[in-house]
Amino acid sequence: MKTVERIKQPIHAEMEYFESKFRHAMHTNVPLLNRIMDYIVHRKGKQMRPMFVFLTAKMVTNGGFHERTYRGASIVELIHTASLVHDDVVDDSNMRRGFFSINALWKNKIAVLVGDFLLSKGVLLSVDNGDFDLLKIISRAVREMSEGELIQIEKARRLDITEDVYFDIIRKKTATLIAACTAIGAASVSANQETVDDMWRFGETIGLAFQIKDDLFDYTDDQIGKPTGIDIKEQKMTLPLIYALNTCSKEEKKWVINSIKNYNKNKKRVKEVIQFVKDKNGLAYAEQKMLGFQNQAIQMLDKYPQNKYKEALVTMINYVVERKI
């Protein structure tokens, strides 16, 4: 059985029910918007975020859950989808998950509005049901994601980003939403505040590992649905490159910065930068950091009851760092 299927097994029924609810949560009477919603549902991803919501809710209650847990899962998937639609506009990206992006098919102005629509649907789903605690958690994530994207844009211009800034960016743009998933999972079953906060930190730690893995993909040649070297082309400074720049000579640094500034669209030059990062052990360094977060996340579960949901969460943490796509 595939790893994702194995992780889903203890929450199989919940995920099936969630899927039907999720399409409903996107409903609109505007025909164009409905067509785009159909397209979005059709190219859906692995739905890891709803899985985090259900597994956390069930782990902390030893198998219990609440109607609110479904809404929590829908809220995070709506906001996640909104953020990806907007991100592809921000990055001027034509592909997402092997399909054309919304902006590629319908242009930027429609994509921006589609993202706004999805965001409002997520907000309304919580407001209409009085889930203000869940709304508070997801709103923090939306604020941090926007801040993370903006810091990334600002820093990309200067190309002088430090490791601390890198971690600040990935914590905000990626880890915070996974933190919201696990915190919402716990909050949806009325866990105490300490557990909710603890689950936020747990998800955040997984999220850091997740983004480092994503950044490592940019340096690997395997087919992953997106080409390599994109980050360099977009002048995104990620951990492998930051490490390489911190450990090389002044001349080498000058060459790399010049390559990224002035030759970032030159395929041969980008390939040379990738090789340089590999030679400086940038990939090994980033991998080691990622494994640190993986172990930390697993250890954070020690104090929770041993059950099949916890086992699935551990499998999921391992999947985050071992996945090939």
Binding residues (CB under 6 A) for ligand FPP: these are: 79, 82-83, 86-87, 90-91, 115, 119, 142, 145-146, 149, 173-174
Query: What's the min distance (Å) between Cβ of 39 and ligand FPP?
Result: 18
What does the alpha-carbon distance between residue 177 and residue 159 come to, in Å, rounded to a whole number? 26
Among 6, 23, 91, 281, binds Mg ion (CB under 5 A): 91
DSSP one-letter code for 253: H
79 touches which of Mg ion, ligand FPP, none (CB within 5 to 8 A by kind)?
ligand FPP
Nearer Cβ to ligand FPP (93/129): 93
123 to 142, contacts with Mg ion by CB under 5 A? none
Paired sense of beta strands 99-100 and 95-96, if any: antiparallel
Query: What's the min distance (Å) between Cβ of 311 and Mg ion?
Result: 33
The stretch near Mg ion (CB under 5 A) out of 88-96, 112-120, 134-142, 185-193 is 88-96
Identity of residue 84: L
Query: What's the min distance (Å) between Cβ of 237 and Mg ion?
Result: 14
195 touches which of ligand FPP, Mg ion, none (CB within 5 to 8 A by kind)?
none
> What count of other Cβ atoms lies within 10 Å of the Cβ of residue 28?
12
First-to-final CA distance of the chain: 17
146 touches which of ligand FPP, Mg ion, none (CB within 5 to 8 A by kind)?
ligand FPP
State the DSSP string of 58-126.
HHHHTS---HHHHHHHHHHHHHHHHHHHHHHHHTT--EETTEE-HHHHH-HHHHHHHHHHHHHHHHHHH
Identity of residue 64: G
Query: What's the min distance (Å) between Cβ of 87 and Mg ion?
Result: 4
Among 87, 204, 215, 218, binds Mg ion (CB under 5 A): 87
182 to 201, contacts with Mg ion by CB under 5 A? none
Nearer Cβ to ligand FPP (226/308): 226
86 touches which of ligand FPP, Mg ion, none (CB within 5 to 8 A by kind)?
ligand FPP
149 touches which of Mg ion, ligand FPP, none (CB within 5 to 8 A by kind)?
ligand FPP
Q: Is the dihedral of CA 73, 190, 147, 254 positive or negative?
A: negative
> Up-side HSE of residue 179: CA atoms within 13 Å toward CB?
26
Contact status: 215 vs Mg ion (CB under 5 A)? no
317 touches which of ligand FPP, Mg ion, none (CB within 5 to 8 A by kind)?
none
Interior CA angle at 149 toward 287 and 79, to 5°?
95
| Pick from 215, 204, 209, 207: nearest CA to 282 | 215
- Which residues contact Mg ion by CB under 5 A? 87, 91
